[in-house]
Structure 1
Amino acid sequence: MLRSTALSLLLLSAAATGANAQGLRGETDINAGLKATATAVELSDNCPGVNARLLRGINYLRQLEQMAKDRGYSQSEIDAYVDSRKDKKRLEAEARAELSAKGAVEGDRESYCKVARAEMAEGSAIGRLLR
């Protein structure tokens, strides 16, 4: 009985501090938002006619941070995830792969501009972060 009570308390505690067993890495919607932000930055870096909407991007990142907090992640967990070089590289690689799948070719600025214009016209999460 004591053992099952202790196990129940442990499970409740785990649920309250980071809802996903994988941590923030497993939060697909938050990661999709981070990837959209990375993709928008990549597009603005490679297309001279497109700029990232910095204030909108900052507000979007704050919304993602609040989502993580609402799910029980602490500020230190969020900071550790955001500062993780491994996770940054993973998200950047995913963003580049998505851009490639959409027709962006490294070194071909016009291909990045074409993707950027399509994202803006579609009103996608990426497109809303560009102007």
Structure 2
Amino acid sequence: MRRKRWGGDEGSATVWAVFAAMALCTVFAVVIAMAQVVVARHRAGGAADLAALAAADHALRGATAACGSARRVAAAQDAQLVRCAVRGDIADVTARARTGPFASDIRARAGPSAEEGRSVEPIPEPGGTAR
């Protein structure tokens, strides 16, 4: 006859294995969610930069043409153009990219540099003077 012990640890390995599997699944879910956030942010940033450059390139044709070009570039990057403003030859756009349930809005500006047309002084070399 087999005696039944109370308070033994029969089957406890199964319980520990289930808890360990649940913990690992939770960690993996958090890592995947963080990766989706980073991917959405980078896609939105790239799309906003390229759309701003496209809009600034077409700024002389008018705001409608510039924003249309920016919209096409953002769509090619699998993003949506949320806002587009062209003032003179400077374009200011906001692009939105989605990855999974996460979306990221990034703003970018493009146009000629403020130093355009002015001579730039050379940067002095370390330990020496500029020529």
TM above 0.5, yes or no, is: no
| Structure with the bigger percentage of helix | 1
Between structures 1 and 2, the one with greater strand share: 2
Question: What's the TM-score, normalizing by structure 2?
Answer: 0.40
- Normalised by the length of structure 1, the TM-score is 0.40
Greater RCO (Cα-Cα under 8 Å, separation 6 or more): 1
